[in-house]
Structure 1
């Protein structure tokens, strides 16, 4: 189960084993996309795409440019939790997609915390 919560009271739970996150960088106005899997060790990023570079969004050296988009596989171990911040300067926040449905995550309720658990209420 994927669990998402914010200090402002937002909560979302999704019965899924994989999901994607995407957002627009507040300065460069480029799109960043990540594919994640839920594993026994936590949330694992398995692929990423960046539509442009700059302002902290440089692709790693092993990224490959395909149709104007940088593709790469993040070399980050599974995380017990992932905290998402939002500047409020992009005009939109994070978007989380799983099982064919996408959810706009609020950017005005404080940082968002993602984790996996059998029961998100616990």
Structure 2
């Protein structure tokens, strides 16, 4: 089964048997929430709709975005991402992974963000057995 792997440089720290998820975070300075919906495919993570509550320093609303229910909704035509690289530090706070509208910090699967490990990668992978190498576990959302 294709699912979501979390780790770095191809080393799996945790894997989730999911086909869709939302990645959410709060901008560290502007304190504005961003959300991106992804579909897990064999070729990678396909970005669907994205939403942002407002704009600010370094956070421009993309062209063509539409304001609905207090958020700007937009789509960016990108090929599947394999992997999706995220900066992750204690100063910036943690990302949230939302599955079936239930959001939890990435630290649930990876431990807290650490300055010594300032990034993480997400990619599509065959799930079912955890590969050696990191802090996580094979997990259901």
Residues 36-47 of structure 1 mapped to structure 2, 5 A cutoff: 36-47=38-49
Matched length: 120
Q: Distance in 2 between matches of 1:104 and 1:6?
A: 17
Could you list the runs of 4 or more consecutive aligned residues of structure 1 that deviate by over 6 angstroms after TM superposition? none
When the two structures are superposed, what TM-score results if normalisation uses the length of structure 1? Answer: 0.84
1:20 to 1:104, Cα distance in 2 relative to 1, 3 A: same
Would you say the 8 A contact 2:33–2:52 is kept in 1?
yes
The unaligned stretches of length 5 or more in structure 1 are none
1:97 to 1:68, Cα distance in 2 relative to 1, 3 A: closer
Q: Distance in 1 between matches of 2:125 and 2:42?
A: 10
When the two structures are superposed, what TM-score results if normalisation uses the length of structure 2? Answer: 0.74
Structure 1 vs Structure 2 CA RMSD: 2.3
Q: Does 1:121 align with 2:123?
A: no
Q: Does 1:74 align with 2:76?
A: yes
Equivalent residue number for residue 95 of structure 2? 94
Q: Structure 1 stretch 98-107 or stretch 54-63: which is displaced more?
A: 98-107
Question: 1:6, CA displacement in angstroms?
Answer: 5.1
The unaligned stretches of length 5 or more in structure 2 are 107-111, 133-141
1:54 to 1:87, Cα distance in 2 relative to 1, 3 A: farther
The CA deviation string for residues 60-90 of structure 1, in whole angstroms up to 9 with x for no partner, is: 1110011321011122111110111134334
1:18 to 1:63, Cα distance in 2 relative to 1, 3 A: same
